[in-house]
A and B are shown apart, each in its own frame.
Chain A
């Protein structure tokens, strides 16, 4: 384990995250990722405010089923470099970061697993690098310009949380999203508080390190003048045309991207997709149902393998 990782990861958590740290220079930034196992790659993408640790229950199962598992930490999160200026972050920039890693590793036949902001970034990568991507798994995210969830249009608590000055104070000084925010968005809160919460808080130790936790909410389009509106419009169009095999998995208790609205909309965009499969979980469904989700992905990929074998 590198000295860098030793310094950032609490000792109590190293038993849960013992993977060899790897670093790549992507798009001008230092990105941390893990790369475990052999076989066709499964790339697991997290969102705000998590990191690869979110997938800790899934990685051993996917590696054990004969897959190569690559889990990057988004620039600004986890053990990756954390820029301290808001303008260092953009939706297109983060997609470019991921693209740089995928090309750097020369990954092909990628099964891409997208959650939260891993959705808009990962799906944008997939739509612009379709030759490298074999399949999609979509969880608690979105890929269209308007409207986001009704939750995102409300001032309490969403817009207030990342409002000018309030964002740096509440999410920066008081780590509201990396701490209590994730806690409120799992089902088994007692277990989460006991076994996992510290892992999310520990890698964002200082207010400045939490910058992206209030920057990402500001990239959610609320009207047609929003910065990312055109990118989401493009993404919706491209994804609707996509024939990539897809799996939709959603948290039954998800109150942010509720299953009835969001998973069904993905199903309409990708009518050939498997699912939606509902599992126990709020927004961070991997915390409550990681093992079950890994089994769903493995089963989905095995069917894909079998179908390709027949052709």
Chain B
């Protein structure tokens, strides 16, 4: 089962973007930047719109890409939960969703990066979400 799927831009009426995770240096390992460019068609879309994914929990997440003068686009990335405007975020669910998103990213980046190594790293540091991996 694919845990994370790309989705078209949803309606944001009655919603807010709840900050979840930020990365200032998405190309620290350039293959990660390549993955985002490829997956979200960023060479064509640039900064015009966020990318959206849905996790197996049913939650939606927005990927907002950041540009920086002098650096290949995107230089950074922020992930936001798309949540009901006035409702708080469930931290445990958010953590599991981020874990799923990161597994999806690692799998998409590909060799030598593997989901197995990601899972092992999570277990080494005893992450709650990793215990089921």
Contact = CB atoms under 8 A, between A and B. Distances in A.
Interface of A: 85-87, 155-157, 159-170, 173-174, 176, 179-181, 218
B120 A157 contact: yes
A174 B114 CA distance: 21
A173 B120 contact: no
Interface residues of B, number: 31
A170 B77 CA distance: 16
Contacts of A166: 102, 106, 118, 121
A234 B32 CA distance: 30
B112 interface: yes
A163 B21 contact: no
B132 to A, nearest CB: 15
Contacts of A167: 23
A175 to B, nearest CB: 9
A134 to B, nearest CB: 38
B86 interface: no
A257 to B, nearest CB: 19
Given A170-B125, A174-B125, A181-B125, A160 B28 contact: no
Contacts of A168: 21-23
25 contacts: A155-B117, A156-B120, A156-B121, A157-B121, A159-B29, A160-B117, A163-B32, A163-B106, A164-B26, A164-B29, A164-B77, A165-B23, A165-B26, A165-B105, A166-B102, A167-B23, A168-B21, A169-B102, A170-B121, A173-B21, A174-B125, A179-B125, A181-B125, A218-B25, A218-B28
Interface string B46-71: 00000000000000000000000000
Interface of B: 21-29, 32-33, 77, 79, 95, 98-99, 102, 105-106, 112-114, 117-118, 120-122, 124-127
A153 to B, nearest CB: 11
Contacts of B24: 85-87
B64 to A, nearest CB: 13
B21 A169 contact: yes
A110 B102 CA distance: 46
A189 B122 CA distance: 20
Contacts of B26: 164-165
B35 to A, nearest CB: 9
A163 B125 contact: no
B117 A165 contact: no
